[in-house]
Amino acid sequence: MNIKNLDNIHNSTNNMPFVNDGYQILQCNQVPNPVSDDATSMFLAESWSQLDFSIACNARWYLFPNYNWVQDSFGGDNLAKNFKYYSNIIFSNGDKDPWFAAGITEYLHLKLPFFNIKGAAHSQDLQFPQPEEAGTDVERVRAEYVMLLDRYIR
């Protein structure tokens, strides 16, 4: 991997360099996120090497990725135990989200609600409502978010 590949991590934000730079810094510091290294993914196959990625991060940002940061900071081997004292976090997963399998998809405890949203894509529930979503799970879950957030704030 070279720095040019690092620049193209998220082509959709290339017209907003501050967004792209922020995401690159996050990846190069705490949350490295290889997209694909084979043809079985929904993403275009691209060779990926942890060593090459680390070298590119250091050359561009003077950072080395901490590949275990998420696990070390938040746990994950035993979600019920690791998240026992967490609260006021809403987990949501659309069943059309390619990252669905990595999400919280089952009950942990009362203060950590989760929603598996039928027919929703990645972050669709966080986007502005669309007319075609009327009566769908996405619309219902958004209404529940409002109630939960109101309760958290009060």
Domain range list for the chain: 3-61, 75-153
Task: Report the distance separating Cα 31 and Cα 33, nearest Å.
Answer: 6
Instruction: Give residue-wise pLDDT tens across range 102-135.
Output: 889 999 999 999 999 999 999 999 999 999 999 9
pLDDT for the residue 9: 45
Q: What are phi and psi of 80, to 5 degrees?
A: -60, -40
pTM surpassing 0.75?
no
pLDDT for the residue 22: 84
The region, left, alpha or beta by phi > 0 then psi within -120 to 50, assigned to residue 49 is: beta
By CB atoms closer than 10 A (0-12, 13-18, 19+), residue 11 is exposed
pLDDT for the residue 37: 65
pLDDT for the residue 2: 41
Task: Report the distance separating Cα 149 and Cα 153, nearest Å.
Answer: 6
Residue ranges in the chain modelled with pLDDT below 70: 1-19, 35-38, 41-42
pLDDT for the residue 19: 58
